[in-house]
Amino acid sequence: MNGDDETIRLPVPMIGYGVPTDPCLTLHRSLPETAIGPPYFYYENVALAPKGVWDTIKRFLYDVEPEFVDSKCFCAAARKRGYVHNLPIRNRFPLLPFPPRTIHEALPLTKKWWPSWDSRTKLKFLQTCIGSAILTERIRKSLEDWDDAPPSHVQKYVLDECRKWNLVWVGRNKVAPLEPDEVEMLLGFSSCL
């Protein structure tokens, strides 16, 4: 590959070809001559696709290596994705304003209700289905008998469900799913757009 050679800095795994605000490690990328410059292409898929999927995608896009990114490096939710593209990687810059990077930065009103035994700072991932009212009521009932921290088996049950469904604390012993506007905000969409 003797095409467009670009060297940039890479902070952590799953960060892609670097973060403009926090460069650290050096990474080298070469593009084949046929993939340099316009027309640009950009193809996205889940990072943890089944074996062979990324090789197939690359084969149809000039054998360009994918760029893998976990959104938890940029916002309060994890989302591991891969991108095959021929976009320039030099002189990248962040879009402003920066999205919130933790749950409490994103949803500050939840901090008042957040129990000390729930150590989550990031949401697991964003999904299209949400936890039901039946589930949130079941969680409330499992916690109502405890003034302080519930026993470890109750904590485990509650935390497993909160992680699975991205539930946040909205009252004493009360969790709720994210609202659509909260999901948009976590993804970096401004409420004033």
pTM of the model: 0.73
User: CB–CB of 163/169 below 8 Å?
Assistant: no
Mean pLDDT over 50-76 rounds to 88
| Residue 15: DSSP 8-state | B
Q: How far apart are CA 9 and CA 172, in angstroms?
A: 45
What is residue 85's predicted lDDT score, i.e. its pLDDT?
Answer: 93
Q: What is the mean pLDDT of the chain?
A: 83
pLDDT of residue 124: 83
Model pLDDT, residue 41: 94
pLDDT (average), residues 18-22: 60
| Residue keyed to tokens 């021929």 | 86
- The C-alpha R_g of the chain, in whole angstroms, comes to 21
Q: Residue 61 is encoded by which pair of tokens?
A: 């896009």
CB distance 175 to 139 below 8 Å:
yes
